[in-house]
Amino acid sequence: MVDYIKELKKRFKVATDLETRERYSKDYGFISPKLSKFRKIADAVVWLYSEEEIKEFFKIQQDYHFYIVERGNGTNTLGGAMPIKEKSVIVIPEMKKFEVLNGKLISDPSVEFNDLDVSSLPVYPTSFNMATIGGFVAGGSLGIGSLKYGAVWDNVNMIKVVNQKGEYTFYDNDVKKVVQSAGTVGIITKIGFRLIKRDKIVVKNYKFKKVGDAINKALDLIDEAEFISIRSKEMAYNISNENWDNWNLIVGFPGEDGKPVTSADIITTFAGAYFTVVNKKKVSYYSVDVKIEDLEKLDKIKGMIDCELARSQGKLFSHTYFLGFSEIPLQNEKVFNLHSYKINDRVEEDRLKKIIDFKKVVDPEDYINPGKIEY
């Protein structure tokens, strides 16, 4: 057994059997053949139960220079929780307490959305029934609520990370040094999240021949809607069997007037939409953040298309999935690369700069989730 594993075993709960290492060296990035070919099997899986243990763990890491890959529940679809280097250790920060303080959620990283009242969270992933809040804050982006309340980085107001240089707590705009960094700047140990009061949600569908009419209706509803998906007929049929037209709006509203939403309805928005169809049909998939004024161009494109309207840092756009295309059918839009493990291929420029600046200070040698950020 290699020296550092012996050392880790003296202090922490560690698994080194092949079955456990294989199971924890995989995330939902398996859906992309381009991503999964980079996968390496970690040397060990380590469970850490407190910040003190995390700090002690980093001391050993500094002596033995192994690589660290943090993990929540491994539902990231972008290879974020998958080791891509030899000599890697999977770290599970097994910390699961949370409380509501002054109207804000203060949470440990491994709290599962299933343990929280998601109706009080401004944004949460469509994988909420199987994910942790730490994994969402570290590696997620948009989700249910993003149209009204923005992305995950718009709703985290405090974050604490521990790394080999010490512990850092950031507030408000500075949380962007850590959120969506895929764990490349340290192990998140505490999260402050805004809370809201959300009414019950009902879903209504609207059907159109032309995408322009669907867009106009979506813009009419934008201030009242909780979420809006615009789906081509081909995409809509693959999600549910109804009498769809060429372009369809699926709109979630707060209130009582309409079909009450079930979690099955909601899990097919955002990443849940493409994941569901790609998993079923094994087709190619791309995601592009399309400007609202460019959405009309979709009328000329035929195939499985899903537009999830969302806001990030106050800006409205369509997080758009194209399925079954041999290449991205729209040019000059911001690609959100679903086949790259590097966050550079997804994170907005201003936020990426904040993450890179922090990374250079705390982990210049790239030991924490190595390879996932270019800097």
Instruction: Tell me the chain's radius of gyration from C-alpha atoms.
Output: 21
**Looking at beta carbons only, is 80 or 192 nearer to ligand FAD?**
80
Q: Does 135 bind ligand FAD (CB under 6 A)?
A: yes
Q: Does 271 bind ligand FAD (CB under 6 A)?
A: yes
Given 25, 53, 67, 72, the residue binding ligand FAD (CB under 6 A)? 72
**Looking at beta carbons only, is 132 or 248 nearer to ligand FAD?**
132
- In the bound state, the residue with its beta carbon closest to ligand FAD is 135
Report the nearest approach of ligand FAD to the CB of residue 369 (Å). Answer: 5
> How far apart, in whole angstroms, are the C-alpha atoms of residue 340 and residue 80?
9
> How far apart, in whole angstroms, are the C-alpha atoms of residue 367 and residue 375?
13
Report the nearest approach of ligand FAD to the CB of residue 213 (Å). Answer: 27
* CA angle, 329 then 332 then 333, to 5°: 80
Q: Does 369 bind ligand FAD (CB under 6 A)?
A: yes
Cα distances (Å, whole numbers) of residue 130 to 74, 114, 127, 263: 9, 7, 6, 12
Q: Does 27 bind ligand FAD (CB under 6 A)?
A: yes
Q: Specify the amino acid at residue 223.
A: D
Q: Does 35 bind ligand FAD (CB under 6 A)?
A: no
Mask: binding to ligand FAD, 345-364, rule CB under 6 A, as x and -?
--------------------
Q: Specify the amino acid at residue 94.
A: E
DSSP letter assigned to residue 261: P
> How far apart, in whole angstroms, are the C-alpha atoms of residue 270 and residue 283?
17
> How far apart, in whole angstroms, are the C-alpha atoms of residue 303 and residue 168?
47
Q: Does 136 bind ligand FAD (CB under 6 A)?
A: yes
Site for ligand FAD in 138-167 (CB under 6 A): 138-143
Q: Which two tokens stand for residue 231?
A: 């789906």
> How far apart, in whole angstroms, are the C-alpha atoms of residue 208 and residue 250?
12
Q: Which stretch binds ligand FAD (CB under 6 A): 119-127, 200-208, 219-227, 292-300?
A: 119-127
**Looking at beta carbons only, is 165 or 207 nearer to ligand FAD?**
165
Q: Does 69 bind ligand FAD (CB under 6 A)?
A: yes
Report the nearest approach of ligand FAD to the CB of residue 210 (Å). Answer: 28
Given 187, 295, 304, 338, the residue binding ligand FAD (CB under 6 A)? 187
Report the nearest approach of ligand FAD to the CB of residue 252 (Å). Answer: 13
Rounded-to-5 percentages of helix, strand, coil across the chain: 35, 25, 40
DSSP letter assigned to residue 294: G
> Which is nearest to 344 in space by CA: 356, 331, 358?
356
Q: Does 252 bind ligand FAD (CB under 6 A)?
A: no
> Which is nearest to 269 in space by CA: 236, 247, 303?
236
Binding site for ligand FAD (CB under 6 A): 27-28, 69-77, 80-81, 93, 109, 125-127, 131-132, 134-136, 138-143, 182-183, 187-188, 270-272, 275, 369
